[in-house]
Amino acid sequence: GDGVFRYYSDGEWKASASGKSVPIINPTTRSTHFKVQACTQEEVNKIIESAKAAQKLWAKTPLWKRAELLHRAAAILKEHKAPIAECLVKEIAKPAKDAVTEVVRSGDLISYCAEEGVRILGEGKFLVSDSFPGNERTKYCLTSKIPLGVVLAIPPFNYPVNLAVSKIAPALIAGNSIVLKPPTQGAVAALHMVHCFHLAGFPRGLISCVTGKGSEIGDFLTMHPGISCISFTGGDTGVAISKKAGMIPLQMELGGKDACIILEDADVDLAAANVVKGGFSYSGQRCTAVKVVLVMESVADKLVEKVNAKVQKLTVGAPEDDCDITPVVTESSANFIEGLVMDAKQKGATFCQEYRREGNLIWPLLLDHVQPDMRIAWEEPFGPVLPVIRINSVEEGIHHCNASNFGLQGCVFTRDINKAILISDAMETGTVQINSAPARGPDHFPFQGLKDSGIGSQGITNSISMMTKIKTTVINLP
């Protein structure tokens, strides 16, 4: 055709009446790699209308059948892992192996969700009235979990497939329909993933995927009266959405400034390995990346030396070559990262490596002796640049962690489990990892951010529950 990928509405692949498209720039070549449709508000209206109609029937479809379709979609997705991963490589410069892992992890997530769904949605509660003062046993109360309606899923560029299915699968098993708005970078991978659901044979209109410019359809989608729930992962846009959205449940996972606190008694080799993995995998473009290292002065030299030795070994280059460090997603992102680096330089941070950038490719950089007046002490680079702050007490580390407006995850390295637990309790974050880098998975673990890092809790079980509402029927005995 015209080389513009179609959007998915009412079970069909369509070209937008706008006649316009949105280019997807390959971060590595910095030229247009794909184009997607720039959908109109009218097309969004149609999608939401068919999503509402399809949901009514879907809610009456037996739970085991919903699960069966999800299992089928999971299998088809895994069969198509190669072409989908290829899109991730071209659209978001994810290293080739990680791109495949993302797709496989997504298939597993869908299957787990189907299994979890049939169990937790397959049971309700039975209550009797005479446990509350003044009541006889004259009322029986039956509870069940009912769907919300149309769920709007907005995943971010860094996991266009996995963070889409982490919203789609819970919504569907719970009896909702889905409108997916993928990120521009990653939209084609998302369309391929949606095609797997199409092949699995879900009813028309139950799942749709709308592409386009945020300025044209963003607010229109999030403020649309036909939407019953929004599940969003991303950055500041989430704060804006929360302010504008109507009286509907929101699931938000936004930024993070995950701290890695390293105590004097830590296994420094283990800590160094996790600092590198946590700080530099996918070039630091993970909400759960280690974004600040808070290390006790007495072990700081040793840690920095070990981290530097590992940083030196990181391969830098093209995602096709499966390099560890690949170009960051956009030029503006690279410019932002560079701004943080230059600010730190001006204010006297120690550069453990030379700062180097070619296009969107930024070489991994550890900044030692970072001070609280530097922007990088607080801001999220979303790139392969990691600040180290040397601390003289555990309290200092906890204080820095808690002074952040973010509160996603954090980690602590120590051999003393009692200290670890006390620090975990003191850290104002949704999760604390003891002796490992922050991470969302395994995908059935609860995943949540405090403060500006989010609303609600994710993870398979929590997402299913969040996308349902309790319905009760009370039998009044004569």
381, 337 contact by CB (below 8 A): yes
CB 299, min distance to ligand G3H, A: 26
Q: How many CB atoms lie within 10 A of CB 225?
A: 8
- Cβ proximity to ligand G3H: between 43 and 98 the closer is 98
Q: Which residues bind ligand G3H (CB under 6 A)?
A: 158-159, 286-288, 439-441
CA angle, 158 then 160 then 166, to 5°? 110
Report the nearest approach of ligand G3H to the CB of residue 439 (Å). Answer: 4
Catalytic residue among 91, 102, 116, 253: 253
Residue 3 DSSP SS3: coil
CA distance 427 to 412: 10
Cα–Cα distance measured from residue 90 to residue 423, given in angstroms and rounded to the nearest whole number = 41
Instruction: Give yes or no: 253 in active site.
Output: yes
Residue tagged active-site, from 287, 323, 352, 401: 287
Q: Closest distance between ligand G3H and the C-beta of residue 469, in Å?
A: 25
DSSP conformation class of 300: H
Give residue number: closest CB to ligand G3H.
287
Q: In 10 A of CB 117, how many CB atoms?
A: 26
Query: 8, 454, 12, 9: which is closest to 233 by C-alpha?
Result: 454
Q: Which is nearer to ligand G3H, 93 or 300 (CB)?
A: 93
What's phi and psi for 159, nearest 5 deg? -140, 70
Closer CB to ligand G3H, 159 or 280, in the complex? 159
**Measured between alpha carbons, how far is 161 from 230 in angstroms, rounded to an integer?**
17
Length of the chain (residues): 478
For ligand G3H, which is the closer residue by CB, 448 or 465? 448
Q: Which spans in 314-410 are helix H?
A: 331-346, 394-403
Can you tell me the distance from the alpha carbon of 232 to that of 454, in angstroms, rounded to the nearest whole number?
9
270 CB-side CA count, 13 A: 15
* CA gap 54, 225 in Å, rounded: 17
Q: How far is the CB of 101 from ligand G3H (least distance, A)?
A: 10
**50 vs 166 by CB, closer to ligand G3H:** 166
Cross-strand bridge partners of residue 180: 153, 209
Helices (H), 80-95: 81-92
Host H or E run for residue 6: none
- CB-nearer residue toward ligand G3H: 175 or 284: 284
Strand partners, 454: 253
Nearer Cβ to ligand G3H, position 258 or 368? 258
Cα–Cα distance, 464 to 171 (Å, whole number): 7
Work out how close the CB of 281 gets to ligand G3H at its nearest, in angstroms, rounded to a whole number: 8
CB of 354 to ligand G3H, least distance (A): 28
Q: Give me the least distance between CB of 130 and ligand G3H, in Å please.
A: 46
Which CB sits closer to ligand G3H, 4 or 161?
Answer: 161
In angstroms, the CA 252 to CA 233 distance is 6
DSSP secondary structure letter of residue 443: T
CA atoms within 13 A on the CB side of 282: 23
Instruction: Using alpha carbons, select from 171, 218, 220 the residue that is nearest to residue 197.
Output: 171
Q: Which is nearer to ligand G3H, 46 or 291 (CB)?
A: 291
Residue 287 is among the residues annotated as catalytic for this protein: yes
How far is 389 from 296, CA to CA, in rounded Å?
A: 9
For residue 275, the minimal CB distance to ligand G3H (Å) is 15
Distances in Å between the Cα of 147 and the Cα atoms of 7, 39, 228, 391, 454 are 25, 27, 10, 49, 22
For the CB of residue 444, give the shortest distance to ligand G3H in the complex, in Å. Answer: 13
Catalytic residue set: 253, 287
